[in-house]
Amino acid sequence: MRAITHERYGPPDEVLRLKEIPRPVPRDGEVLVRVHAAPIGGDDWHLMRGMPYVARFVTGLRRPRNPVAGLEVAGRVEEVGANVTEFEPGDEVFGWCAGSFAEYVAVPEGQLLPKPVNLSLEQAAAVPISSFTALQGLRDGRIGPGQRVLVNGASGGVGTFAVQIARSYGATVTGVCGPAKADLVRSLGAEDVVDHTRERFADRGERYDLILDVQGSPSLAECRRALKPRGTLVIVGGTGGPWFWGTDRWFRAFALSPFVGQSLRVRVHTDDRADLLLMKELIEAGKVTPVVDRTYPLERVAEAIRYVQEGNARGKVVVTVP
């Protein structure tokens, strides 16, 4: 089968290769999925580059432990291993995995669900990790009706989910994004949009119950100025150098939080089937719709990653496998 492999760390254009490799065989409890679509996420870029360097203790010190890229999938069941009870060949499924930039991937049964009935496979592929990050971050901030919520980085993969999820909980949402994406963020339910090229949200005088920081660029002091005295900041994104990539800001938030009235939190998403089921229910109820900017064929994965990393994407970018 064809697959995108990376056997060393580096820029996607240099390390990704389209190769023929053996098709996986599903083990007990696994489902072999014929991949139709797999999204590009921030995690993919970090895994390609091996950054932050401290993450290599998990991903592989000198080279990637998993040579096939891709962390999420939507497709059709090709074959099932022993003891699989929920799926059979032909079922359309979506979920998270390891190695989805390929024609086939073997996935543990518990990491898949039936595709939402009102989504295409391309849309379904965009759901898992970005929606986990948005949902879990908002939940950490005790999202609820009547809250004033600011989403910093509202037009990307995580942000577009966060705006819609917050609205589904009855919150009033302000989104921060660039001018070209303001109409998109409003269409998703944001009542107000801050153009970060013209003003800083902390300078507007508005105060929020919850700030979900996807972008990772404002200082903790700026975020605290925009919070109510008992408000909550949840950091889900970061930027920085190759060693720690913004995790130093996480530690500053941990250290400061016990000494101030505001709650300063960090959320690293966890893959959770119950949360994927909740997202499926929200999607089928019409409360959340994945935003797919564009699709790329498998052989252009490096180009797709570069497009996302340059900050051009409106929502998610998805790789399709004909």
In this prediction, residues 245-270 reach a mean pLDDT of: 73
pTM score: 0.91
Q: How confident is the model at residue 282 (pLDDT cuts 50, 70, 90)?
A: very high
pLDDT in tens, 37-56: 999 986 666 666 555 555 55
pLDDT in tens, 206-222: 999 999 999 877 888 89
Structure tokens at 150: 């600011």
Reported as a pLDDT band with limits 50, 70 and 90, residue 177 is: very high
What digits encode the pLDDT tens for the residues 128-145?
999 999 999 999 999 999
Tokens of 291: 């935003």
Q: What is the DSSP string of 111-164?
A: GEEEPPTTS-HHHHHTSHHHHHHHHHHHHHTT--TT-EEEEETTTBHHHHHHHH
Asked if pLDDT for residue 24 goes beyond 90, the answer is yes
Predicted confidence band of residue 66 (pLDDT cuts 50, 70, 90): confident
